[in-house]
Chain A
Amino acid sequence: MTEPAEPMRGGPSEPEAHQAVLDRVKAAREAIVGELRKLIVGQDEPIDQVLVTMLAGGHCMIQGPPGTAKTLLATCIAKVMDLSFKRIQFTPDLMPSDISGTEILEEDQTTGHRVLKFARGPVFSNIVMADEINRTPPKTQAALLEVMQERQVTLGGRTYPLPEPFYVLATQISLEQEGTYPLPEAQQDRFMLSVAMNYLPEDDEVSVVRHSTSAETVALEKVIGADDLMAFMRAVRDVAMPRELSNYVVELVASSRPTVDGCPDFVKEYVAWGAGLRASQNITLAAKSAAAQDGRATVEVSDVRKAIMPVMRHRIGLSFRAEVDRVSVEDITQRLVEACPEPAVA
C-alpha cells in the first residue's frame, strides 16, 4: 500500500451503474446455468470455467476423452447466448484458407467488371469450436492462433474484422498417436483457461443415456445476446482487485519458474519451464470474471483460488524426471498453492 493514489486498480467511474450491470451478470449466469442444466448432466466445474472465460473475453482449451459433451456444451452455450457457432474439424490436410476464407472471382452484374470477392471462412462466427487442433500442421494452427489474437483476417491487403464477441473453444486429442502436431507452448499460452472434462459418474451416465435414447427433445431458451455479453465483459474488467491479491498472484506464478531464485525444490526438480506473465494476467481476469458472476465489485481470495488450476494447467512444462516419477502438472500446481501462503484479505 505504498501508492495512495491507487489503492485498488480497475475501479469503475460510476460505481452504482457498475453494480447494476454486475447484478444483471449474476442473474444472467444463474439463468444460463439453468438452461444448460436441461441438457447437460454433471460437469459443473467445466461449465463454470467456460463461462468465466467467456465473460473475461478469453479463449479456452477443453481437454478430455471423446464423448464427454464438449461439443454439446459449446453448442448449448451458443444457443442460450444467441451467438453464431461453427465447428471446424482439424485434419492433417486442412489449410489456413479453410479456416479464414479465400478470395473468389465474381462478376459485377451491372458493369460486367470482374472483382475479387472475399468468401468468409468458418472463423467468422461468434463461437468457433476448433476440434482436435493438434491434428493439423503448424502453419494451419498458426493461422487460427493469429486470428484468435488479432480478431481479424488480413487477405490481399484488406482486413476483415471478426464478429464481436469472438471465442475459440479448442480441443486436443490426448491419444498418443502418430501424425499429431503438438501445439507449441507459446501458442498454448494464448488460451486463457484449460478446462478438463472427464467421464461422468455411472449414475449420471445412466440418466444421460435414458434421456438421449428417448423420443423427448428439449428446446433451450435464449437468455442473453451479444450486446449483453459485450457490456458484461466491460463490467468484468472494472471489477477491483485488491493489491494484496495481485501480489499473491504474481508471487505464486513466479514460484513456478525453475530459474527464479528461491523457488521451491520440487519446482527445480520437476519443472522444465514455468508459467509466464500471461498466467498472472489470466488468473486476475478469471478471478474478476468469477467475482462479477457472483455480483461482486471486488475480487475475493476464493475467486483467485478457483482460477489458479485452469490457468496453470497448460502453462507448466514438466521435466523428464517428473514423467518418470509420474508427477502431473496438477500435482505441481497443488504444491505451489500449498507453498505460497494466501494473503489475509478482509
Chain B
Amino acid sequence: MPSEQTIESMPVEALERLTEGKAKILSEIRKAIIGQEEIVNDVVTSFFAGGHCLITGVPGLAKTLLISSLGLAMDLTFRRVQFTPDLMPADITGTEVLEEDRTTGQRNLAFRPGPIFTNILLADEINRTPPKTQAALLEAMQEHQVTVSGSTYTLDEPFFVLATQNPIEQEGTYPLPEIQQDRFMFSLFIDYLPKDEEVAVIDATTTSAEAEIDVCMTGSELLEYQDLVRRIPVAEPVVRYAVALASRSRPTGADAPDFVRDYVAWGASIRASHYMVLGAKARAALAGRPHVSVQDIQSVAYPVLRHRIITNFRAESEGIRSEQIIERLLEAVPPPRSGL
C-alpha cells in the first residue's frame, strides 16, 4: 500500500508557490464577488483536491459568477448548462450528426461534443431534470469520459463539476437520489449575504465599472498541484480519526452512538473517509503546511458528511438535520491525542 511520504521529502518551494497562487486566485475572485468567503474557500479546496461540488441555495447568489471567475483566474474553459425537465442525456454529452463532405458528397456520422467537454461545468438546477439525464452527468463526472453510440470520448483535464440545487419545494423537480449525491466531494450551502454586504454588491453591480480577472494559474499547473496535494503526508491516527467519524455515523455499526441509532437511516460510506482525508490534504497544502492536522479533518467534516448522512423519519419529525448529527459526532469521537 502507500509508500511512506515524509514531511522532509515534500517540495517546500512547490508548496510556497501553491499558497501564493491560492492567495492570488482569492484576490482575483474578490474583485468580482463580495462576501461568501466560506463557499469560495470550500470550492477552491475541492478544486485542488480534484473533487466535484454540490451547492444548495436560492437563485441570485452569484454561484455562476463565482465559478466563471474561478475559470478565468485559472485560464480554464467554462460552460453552463441549465437543467430543464426536457433536457436529454445527449444534450450534455453530445450527439452524432450526419455530415456531408462538400468535395466528395459522402455522408459521414460525426461526433459533436456536448457542453460537458469543458474544464469547468456549472450544472445549474440539476434537480430539474429527469433521472436519466442526471445519471448521464454523474457517470461522466465519475469516469471522466462519455460513451456515445459505442465510441468513448475522454473529457478534458482538469474536469470539475459544480452542480446547484434549488432548495425551494417546487413541483416538477426530481430530487437527486442520496446514493448519487455520494459522487460529490462537498455539499455546500450558500445563503443570502448580510445586509451591509448586499449593499456593497448593489453598489458594485450598478456602476459602469467591470471587474477584470487576471489569469494567475494554468490548468496544467492545477493538475500538478492536485498531485502535490495527494503527496501531503498524513499520520495514521489522523486517517483513523476520519474513518472513525464516518463509521460511527452508520446505524448498523457495532459502536454507533445512540443518537445515530435513533436518528440516522443511512450513514456515510467509505467515500466520506476518502474525501475527508483528501479534503484535509488540500486544506493543509493550500495553507502551505506539509502535514495534515486534526483541524483539517474537522473543518472538512461538514461539507463531506452533510449529504452522506441521511436522517430517518423520526429525525425529520423532531427537526433534526444531518448538521446536528455531524456536530454530535465531532463531540463523540475523540480526536487523536498527539500534538497534530
| Residue B20 lies at the interface, judged by CB distance under 8 Å to chain A | no
Q: Are A173 and B2 in contact (CB under 8 A)?
A: no
Judge whether B182 is part of the interface by a CB distance below 8 angstroms: yes
Residues of chain A within 8 A of B277, CB atoms compared: 209-210, 213
Hey, which chain B residues are within 8 Å of A202, CB to CB? 240, 243-244, 247
Judge whether B269 and A215 touch: CB under 8 Å.
no
User: Within B224-265, which residues are at the interface with A (CB < 8 Å)?
Assistant: 227, 230-231, 234, 236, 239-240, 242-244, 246-247, 250, 252-253, 265
Q: Which A residues touch B236, using CB under 8 A?
A: 206, 210
Q: From residue 174 to 212 of chain B, which have CB atoms closer than 8 A to chain A?
A: 177-180, 182
List the A side residues contacting B111 at CB < 8 Å.
none
The answer to whether A93 and B131 touch across the interface, beta carbons within 8 angstroms, is: yes
Cβ-neighbour of B177 out of A68, A135, A209 (below 8 A): A135
- A-B pairs with beta carbons under 8 A, tally: 110
Assess the B179–A206 pair: CB atoms within 8 A.
no
B273 on the interface (CB 8 Å rule)? yes
**Residues in chain A near residue B179, CB distance under 8 A:** 66, 132, 173, 175
Chain B residues in 8 Å Cβ range of A328 = none
Asked whether, in the complex, the Cβ of B240 is within 8 Å of the Cβ of A175, the reply is no
Please judge, given known A-B contacts A175-B265, A211-B1, whether A91 and B131 are in contact too, CB under 8 Å.
yes
A216: Cβ under 8 A from any B Cβ: yes
Interface presence of B139 (CB below 8 A): yes
B5 within 8 A of A: yes
Q: Which of A163-184 contact B (CB under 8 A)?
A: 173, 175, 177
When the two chains form their complex, are residues B230 and A119 in contact, meaning their CB atoms are under 8 A apart? no
Contact of B182 among A66, A109, A211, A212 (CB under 8 A): A66
| Contacting pair A93 B132 (CB below 8 A) | yes
Please report which residues of chain A, range 139-164, place their CB below 8 angstroms from some CB of chain B when the two chains form the complex.
none
A210 neighbours in B (Cβ, 8 Å): 1-2, 234, 236, 239, 277
Contact of B243 among A175, A209, A211 (CB under 8 A): A209
Q: Is B149 an interface residue (CB 8 A)?
A: yes
Task: State whether the Cβ of B9 lies closer than 8 Å to any Cβ in chain A.
Answer: no
CA distance A122 to B150 in the complex (A): 8
Q: Which of B131, B138, B270, B281 contacts A68 (CB 8 A)?
A: B270
For window 214-230 of chain A, which residues contact chain B by CB distance below 8 Å? 214-216
Fill in one digit per residue for A224-242: 1 if any B CB lies within 8 Å of its CB, else 0: 0000000000000000000
Interface set, chain B 119-138, CB cutoff 8 A to A:
130-132, 134-135, 138
Does A208 belong to the interface (CB within 8 Å)? Answer: yes
Interface residues of A in 112-151 (CB under 8 A from B): 119-120, 122, 132, 135
Question: Which chain B residues border A67 with CB–CB below 8 Å?
Answer: 182, 269-272
Cross-interface CB contact of A213 among B227, B234, B244, B272, cutoff 8 Å: B234
Is B278's beta carbon under 8 Å from chain A?
A: yes
Q: Check B103 for interface membership: any CB of A closer than 8 A.
A: no
User: A83-126, CB under 8 A of B: which get 1 and which 0?
Assistant: 00011010111100010000000110100000000011010000
Is the CB of A185 closer than 8 A to any CB of chain B? no
A120 and B151 CA atoms in complex are apart in Å by 11
In chain A, positions 21-58 with a C-beta closer than 8 Å to chain B are none
Residue numbers in B under 8 Å from A92 (CB-CB): 130-131
Task: Say yes or no for A260: interface residue by CB 8 A criterion.
Answer: no
Question: B107 contacts the other chain (Cβ, under 8 Å)?
Answer: yes
Nearest neighbor of B237 in chain A, beta-carbon distance? A206
**Chain A residues, CB < 8 A from B278:** 212-213
Q: How far is the CA of A69 from the CA of B273 in the complex (A)?
A: 14
Most buried by B among A66, A69, A107, A177: A66
Whether, in the assembled complex, A251 has its beta carbon less than 8 Å from a beta carbon of chain B, the answer is no
Q: Which one of A89, A200, A205, A208 contacts B135 once the chains associate, using CB atoms below 8 Å?
A: A89
Q: How far is the CA of A183 from the CA of B147 in the complex (A)?
A: 28
Q: Is the CB of A208 within 8 A of B2?
A: no
Complex Cα spacing A202 to B242, Å: 10
> B338 interface residue, CB < 8 Å from A?
no
Residue A65 at the chain B interface, CB threshold 8 Å: yes
> Which residue of B is nearest A38, CB measured?
B1
A120, B149: Cα distance in complex, Å: 7
Which residues of A, 66-90, contact B by the 8 Å Cβ criterion?
Answer: 66-69, 86-87, 89
Residue A199 at the B interface, CB < 8 A? yes
Is A2's beta carbon under 8 Å from chain B?
Answer: no
Nearest A residue to B310 by beta-carbon distance?
A175
Complex interface residues of chain B between 87 and 121 (CB less than 8 A to chain A): 98, 106-107, 109
Chain A residues with Cβ below 8 Å from B177 are 132, 135, 173, 177
Residues on the A chain within 8 Å of B243, using CB: 202, 205-206, 209
Q: Name the residue on A nearest B276 (C-beta).
A: A209
| Residue A13, interface by CB 8 Å | no
**In the complex, what residues of A have CB within 8 A of residue B247's CB?**
199, 202, 205
Provide 11 A-B residue pairs closer than 8 Å at the C-beta atoms, listed in order of the A residue. Answer: A65-B266, A66-B269, A98-B132, A119-B150, A135-B131, A175-B178, A199-B247, A206-B243, A209-B243, A210-B2, A215-B227
State the 8 A-B residue pairs at the shortest beta-carbon distance, nearest first.
Answer: A67-B269, A91-B131, A215-B230, A89-B135, A214-B2, A213-B278, A67-B270, A213-B277
| B contact set with A: CB distance below 8 Å | 1-3, 5, 98, 106-107, 109, 130-132, 134-135, 138-139, 147, 149-150, 177-180, 182, 227, 230-231, 234, 236, 239-240, 242-244, 246-247, 250, 252-253, 265-266, 269-274, 277-278, 281, 310
